[in-house]
């Protein structure tokens, strides 16, 4: 049985008195339970992207109708960023580390979101990466380039680690993503303890790695299971609540290998829909927690009710 609670957590800046003009910052946290584990989706903020970055490689004739369906006619996308926290048996496990301070001004709020639920970076026991893109990895170092989660083990899929640490990647990835390669290598090298895992490994009790390659060469999702209760942390294998669901087989400009990304997305959609498994998508709205439901001409995202 899955319980959910959607909470809005307000917090004042430290040391500020409440006045009519004091901005009240709000962090959203969405929670559910898988067996005895508590799963919380924490907001790291959002990204600001040109719409063409995602939509340009898609079939252009059918696109306007679908964009209108989702109210996406503008030039800019503002996807949320949802970091998953799993709390179980004394562990505080983070899936991805957010953007940190040096990617986009609208993101990098994870530490504040943790603070709002009474945790500090020192409380994190494991950081598990879906992949090495900036909005998932760059938050792992602090302002002094030391590991932010000082007491944590860091884990990443072996294929993904090898890709970003390969000196050839920066030359092969394309000019628009060259900074991703430099930034990923620098951060992964700065982590003194970086453990790797393979597809199918039980990386932590009740957490299995599921290869979902394509968005990046070694992208991983994570199946959290206790008894009949399960949840899939899909990362960016399902990258949005609109076209990824309506046309999962279409190529997305967000995927580094578009054919493999589409194949993975279709497979994941079929499985999540048929098993009605709860999912958390990193860039999906409302905390990104919900279900995949088959629709007439594709699928739809159904957020968990609070």
**Window of 13-21, 158-166, 228-236, 294-302 that interacts with Zn ion by CB under 5 A:** 228-236
Which one, 30 or 88, has the nearer CB to Zn ion?
30
3-state secondary structure of 8: strand
Contact mark string toward Zn ion, 81..120, x via CB under 5 A: ----------------------------------------
Least distance (Å) between residue 192 CB and Zn ion: 25
Least distance (Å) between residue 130 CB and Zn ion: 8
Least distance (Å) between residue 196 CB and Zn ion: 21
Q: Residue 172 belongs to what H/E stretch?
A: helix 169-172
Cα 217 from Cα 192, distance rounded (Å): 23
Q: Which of 229, 236, 255, 286 binds Zn ion (CB under 5 A)?
A: 236
Work out the number of other CB atoms within 10 angstroms of the CB of residue 10: 10
Q: Which of 80, 109, 135, 286 binds Zn ion (CB under 5 A)?
A: 135
**Window of 127-135, 149-157, 245-253, 262-270 that interacts with Zn ion by CB under 5 A:** 127-135
Work out the number of other CB atoms within 10 angstroms of the CB of residue 227: 8
Least distance (Å) between residue 36 CB and Zn ion: 29
How many residues bind Zn ion, per CB under 5 A?
A: 2
Cα 173 from Cα 255, distance rounded (Å): 12
Which one, 135 or 255, has the nearer CB to Zn ion?
135
Residues 6+ apart with CB under 8 A from 235: 95, 96, 130, 131, 136, 212, 215, 219, 220, 221, 281, 282
Contact 75, 51 (CB under 8 A): yes
By CB under 5 A, residue 80 contacts Zn ion: no
3-state secondary structure of 255: coil
Least distance (Å) between residue 236 CB and Zn ion: 4
Q: Which residues bind Zn ion (CB under 5 A)?
A: 135, 236
């Amino acid at each position: 049985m899955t319980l959910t609670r959607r909470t809005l957590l307000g917090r004042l800046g430290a040391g500020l008195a409440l006045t009519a003009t004091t901005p009240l910052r709000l962090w959203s946290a969405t929670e559910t339970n898988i067996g005895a584990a508590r799963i919380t989706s924490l907001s790291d903020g959002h990204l600001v992207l040109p719409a063409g970055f995602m939509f340009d490689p898609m079939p252009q004739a059918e696109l306007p109708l679908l964009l209108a369906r989702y109210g996406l006619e503008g030039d800019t996308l503002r996807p949320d960023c949802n970091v998953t926290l799993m709390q179980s048996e004394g562990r505080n496990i983070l899936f991805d580390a957010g953007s940190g301070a040096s990617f986009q001004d609208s993101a990098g709020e994870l530490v504040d979101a943790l603070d709002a639920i009474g945790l500090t970076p020192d409380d994190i026991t494991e950081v598990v990466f879906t992949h090495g893109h900036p909005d998932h990895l760059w938050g792992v170092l602090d302002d002094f380039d030391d590991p932010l989660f000082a007491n944590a083990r860091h884990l990443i899929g072996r294929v993904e680690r090898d890709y970003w640490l390969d000196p050839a990647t920066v030359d092969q990835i394309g000019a628009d993503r060259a900074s991703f390669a430099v930034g990923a290598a620098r951060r992964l090298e700065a982590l003194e303890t970086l453990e790797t895992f393979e597809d199918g490994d039980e990386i932590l009790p009740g957490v299995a790695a599921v290869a979902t390659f394509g968005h990046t060469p070694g992208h991983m999702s994570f199946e959290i299971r206790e008894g009949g209760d399960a949840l899939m942390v899909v990362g960016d294998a399902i990258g949005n609540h609109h076209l990824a669901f309506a046309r999962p087989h279409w190529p997305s400009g967000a995927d580094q290998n578009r054919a493999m990304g589409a194949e993975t997305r279709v497979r994941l959609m079929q499985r999540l829909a048929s098993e009605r498994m709860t999912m958390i998508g990193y860039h999906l709205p409302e905390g990104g927690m919900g279900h995949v439901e088959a629709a007439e001409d594709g699928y739809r995202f159904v957020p968990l009710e609070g």
